[in-house]
Structures are given as C-alpha cells and as structure tokens.
Structure 1
Amino acid sequence: MPYKTQDMVVVTGTSSGIGRATAEQLAAEGFHVLAGVRRQEDADKIKQNNIEPVILDITASDTLRTLAERVEQDPLGRRLRAVVNNAGIAVNAPLEMVPLDEFRRQIEVSVIGQVAVIQALTPALLKSGGRVVNIGSVGGKISMPGFGIYSAAKYAMEAINDSFRREMSSFGLKVIMITPGGVSTSLSEKGVTTADRLSKLMTPDQHRRHDRLFDAVKAQAESWATSGIPPKKVAEVVSRAIHASNPRTRYTAGRDSALLTRLVRILPDKLLDRMLRSQMKLQ
C-alpha cells in the first residue's frame, strides 16, 4: 500500500536514545507516532506534535492489550504503517559470574518482550500491509568478551526476525532488521552502571580472573557513549526502511557495523578472537 502521512507508527522504548530520535524523526515526516514509555514523566517529556505517548511495559500483557486496542480503535481510522521494536536493556559482564536472574531479565525484556509486541500488533499490520522494524545490534553478529549476555538476546532476535520474515512474506507483512554499531545513547551508560553493580558480586577468585575484563567492558561502553554515532543517524535508517516500497531485509547504521558484519563472515574464529581481545586491550 502507498505511504500516507498520518499513518500510525508504534515505537517502543522512546524515553531516550534511538527510540526517542526515531519517534521525533517519524513525527516530523507526518506520521502519528504512538511512543511507548514506561513512566509518566517520560511521557510528559516526549509529548509533542504528532507524538502520542503511551504507557507501555513490553513485559506486561495488560499494557500490550491496551496498545493493541488503541491501534485497532483509532478514532480517525488511521492504519498502522509500522512497528519499531526498540525497547531493550544491556547486561554486560563475564559469563562465569552473571547471576541467572540477570540473564533471565535480559532475555525477558530484549527477546520475549519484543516477540510480545510483534504478536500484539500483527493483526493490525496484516490489515494495513505494514512492516515490523526490529532494532538489532552489531552484538547480534559478533559477541565481544564481556558482552555475551547482551549478544545472546541480539542473536536470538536475528533468528526471530529471519523466521518471522519468512513466515509472513506471503501475507504482505515485511520484516526488517536494523543493525547499528556503536551509538551514543544512555543504554551504554546504563550498561556501565550495571557492570559496576555486578562487579561487586564477584568472589575473590573471579576478581582475579575478570577485573581486567570488567574494566575493558566499561571502557568499551563509555567509548560508544562518547564517540558512537548519534541516535538520529539510526532514526534516519529506520525512516528509509519504513518509506521504501521494497525495503531491504537488513540495514546497517554506522561504519563499524558495516565493517564488522562483513568481517565476521570471512575471518576465521581464532583470528577474530585475537582482533577483539586486542581491541579491548586484553592481549
């Protein structure tokens, strides 16, 4: 179906970073954006022309039902052009000592929650011939030391994205993965805070093994927070994926993503291991 201004778009995780930049980008283009946030204070901050905040916890079925009802019962009869699956968290720490509850939380938010959003809004997307845009990560292509838990969720979403795309291709629903590299967002800063908190849970032996790795993880996250591409650059890629009449199945955002997604396909594992450890100064 052709693009129309004032079609609706749902964007999750819009309190900051990629989600907020995407909501603002699409609203400026004329879409009516249903912007998912968890707290009223964030809703108050993002509300503006063409942006309608909705209180949304993607792990809570009641808020997802409310969102689906809002989409289906739109008072102006607007169709749902796209869902941008962006909400997520980052748990970064050595695999040996990550509490399993933290692992479960990462998967619950960044995988199960994403699937829940897709399930809730698929009926509306099928009616409109819309599309699902999943915000992935270069971490879903390459797993760096200390980032295994986060990468596990992103690898899982790669599989879900591919499977769902192949399941729905006969029904006019397009499924697209956006793969950013390092992005300057609060997610990186929150990842540092989480790493600091988890480091306090280590045993003396684990400290001896992993203090250096913890420092490297925090340094890497801080580097992304300060030198990564701005969220607006990712939002522009999302916009292209939504506007394209025949979108690609995958888009990268940032030079590091474009490079690493190619390298991982051609380099032997052991060479890639050395490169990543050297980059993080673990050699």
Structure 2
Amino acid sequence: MTTSDELVLISGASTGMGAATARELARRGYHVLAGVRREADADAVRASGIEPVILDITDPEHIEAVARRIAADPAGRPLRAVINNAGIAVNAPVELLSMAEWRHQFEVNFFGHVAVTQAVLPALHASSGRVVNISSIGGKVAMPTYGAYGGAKFALEAMSDALRRELAPHGVQVVVVEPGGVRTEMTGHGIARLNDTLAGLSPAERGRYGGLMRAIVSHATAFTASGLPAEAAGRVIADAATVRRPRTRYTIGRDAAVLTRLSRILPDRLLDRLLAADLRPHFPKGQPATSAA
C-alpha cells in the first residue's frame, strides 16, 4: 500500500500547525481530510492531496459527518491517523475567568478531541491506525493565567496515556506531541482575549492581577516570536503520525524539551521560582512582580 492509498484526518487545519501538517502530509503522498470550521477556510487550504471538511469539534453533527465520510471513502482508503490539533487559548487568572470560558476551553481543547477520537476509532481499529493528540508544554507546566488552557492539556495528556494502554493490545497506537513556542495565529488570538479581560477589570482586580496579565502578554509575544515556524512543527507532527515505530511523546522546540524534563525532576517550589524568574522581566516598569513569585 502506498501513502496515496491512505487517509489522515486533521482537526484545526485552517492555519498554523494544522495547515502546515496538512501540507507536509500531502507532500508525502497522503490524502488529507483537513478539518476547518468555515467554508472560507476550506477555500484557503484546498490543494492537491488536501480535501477540506467542515469540522467544528464541538458540533456532534460535524463529527458524525466526518466519520461517515471516512467510512464511505470513494476509493476505499483506510484511515492511517487522526491528528487532534484544534485548540484555543483563553488566558486569565483562575479567579477572573468565567465558568462559561472554563467550559468552552475544555469543550474545544479536550472534550472535542475525545468525541472525534471515539467517532473514528472503528476506522482506526480496521486499519491498525494511530491517534496523535497535540498537547502543549502547557500540558506539563502551567504558568500563571494558564489554568484553563493547562488544565485541558493536562487532561488530554492523561486521556492519551489511558487510551494508549487500552488500544496497544489491539494494534492502534497513541502518540502525544508537546509543542513549545511555535509561530502561529493562536497565540495572537489568546493575547487579544487576555487584553479584553484586562480592560474589563475592576480597580481591585487590576491591583491584584493587572501587572501579571501585562507580563503574560509580553512573555507570550516574545515566546511566540522566538519560536519555531509552523512548518517545522508540521514535520514533527507528520512524523509522529506516520513513522513505523513512533515514540509515545514528541516535543517541538528546545524550550519544550527542557521544561518537560525539569517538570519531572524539580520540586514544585523550585520550579515556581524558575518560572517566576522567567516572567519577571516582562512586568511593566515600576510594577512589583509579586504576582509571579
């Protein structure tokens, strides 16, 4: 069987790592079902070997339609892998983030991936295929204001471990990819949401968290600007989906590799101090960095 005889499904493929991974897999000869949320996004990603499919992973009807598309593939191609990549970032201190925002972040970054995986597992059982879950460095280390995002990614990591152990006896592999800094649009969207939250703070809330939130904006901007291009991340994700003997986890970028190792060996208090030191230079001048300590 050649790669052109196999399908790969990717969610969140309209921009960033998802789009880069779709292009890389198509270049390698796979037929990519590129999940996008809007028709305008479909037109932007459509290319040779890339077939856009409308997929909002929080919409059960979209998920069912994609599962039917895979099962009724006109060429009878098996599903080689599903790459659960869709995601959003909403940053705010735990005290300030509304419960609606908490639930929405988990719906997109966790429950949606579970739903997609459940829907396509019959096809993966038939093909001895693979589940690739795109986690984050935030699935190992949670910075201030990343409680909801990190919480969903920690949950994705745990689910992936359980799923890997459940499916191993049946020939289906499960892989986690943990990116660090990558130059994508998602960080910009997250910063815009954080700025909106910052603008709506009460004086007391601004006194507690204003400096921290501005520091996070600065830190995230610098972290993304110094990160890898999406194309480099796409190559790692494509390898995770297709190599014959994948590792259980892949990191993307030196920052992710270092921090994930440190999180395993350092005591919590020491890790707290290291993260605070990394964040401190980003606080506004004259603003004490007490929120980072």
Partner of 2:181: 182
The 2-side partners of 1:4 and 1:89 are apart by 31
Structure 2 Cα separation of the partners of residues 143 and 25 of structure 1: 30
Q: Does 1:275 align with 2:274?
A: yes
Spell out the pairing of 1:11-22 with structure 2 (5 A cutoff): 11-22=10-21
- Return the alpha-carbon distance in structure 2 between the equivalents of residues 52 and 105 of structure 1: 28
Q: Report what 1:43 is aligned to.
A: 42
Residues 182-224 of structure 1: CA distance to partner in whole angstroms, max 9, x if unpaired? 1111110011011011123322111001011111111122113
Distance 1:185 1:4 in 2: 28
Q: Which whole-Å CA distance do the structure 1 matches of 2:222 and 2:116 have between them?
A: 31
Instruction: Kindly indicate whether residue 88 of structure 2 is the aligned counterpart of residue 61 of structure 1.
Output: no
Distance across 2 between alignment mates of 1:172 and 1:209: 51
Letter in 1 for 2:121: T
Q: Which runs of 4+ in 1 moved over 4 A?
A: none
Matches within 5 A, 1:98-113: 98-113=97-112
Structure 2 distance, partners of 1:242, 1:37, is 19
> Who is 2:216 aligned against?
217
Query: How many residues matched?
Result: 282
- Structure 2 residue 145 is matched with structure 1 residue 146: yes
The 1-side partners of 2:249 and 2:168 are apart by: 15
**Structure 1's 3 and 202: CA in aligned 2 closer, same or farther, altered over 3 A?**
farther
Tell me the TM-score normalized by structure 1. Answer: 0.97
What SS does the aligned partner of 1:83 have?
Answer: strand
SS at 2:5 equivalent:
coil
Deviations 1:138-176 (A, max 9, x none): 000001111111100100000010011111111111000
Q: What letter corresponds to residue 30 of structure 1 in structure 2?
A: G
Q: Which residue of 1 aligns with 2:284?
A: none
Distance apart, 1:131 and its partner CA: 0.1
**Does the CA contact (< 8 Å) of 2:3 and 2:28 recur in 1?**
no
Q: After superposition, what is the alpha-carbon deviation per residue over 1:38-87, rounded to whole angstroms, capped at 9, x for unaligned?
A: 01110000000000000111000001110000000000010100000000
Q: Mean alpha-carbon deviation: is it higher for 81-90 or for 202-211?
A: 202-211
Report the 3-state secondary structure (helix = DSSP H, G, I; strand = E; otherwise coil) of the residue aligned with 2:4.
coil
CA distance in 1, matches of 2:111, 2:251: 23
Aligned-residue Cα RMSD (Å) equals: 1.1
> For structure 1, which segment, 229-238 or 74-83, has the greater mean C-alpha deviation from structure 2 after superposition?
229-238
Unaligned runs of at least 5 residues, structure 1: none
Q: Which runs of 5+ in 2 are unaligned?
A: 281-288
Paired residue for 1:238? 237
Q: In structure 2, what is the equivalent of residue 156 of structure 1?
A: 155
Aligned-pair identity (%)? 47
- Equivalence for 1:91: 90
**Counterparts of 1:30 and 1:5 in 2: how far apart (Å)?**
5
Deviation at residue 238 of structure 1 after TM alignment? 1.4
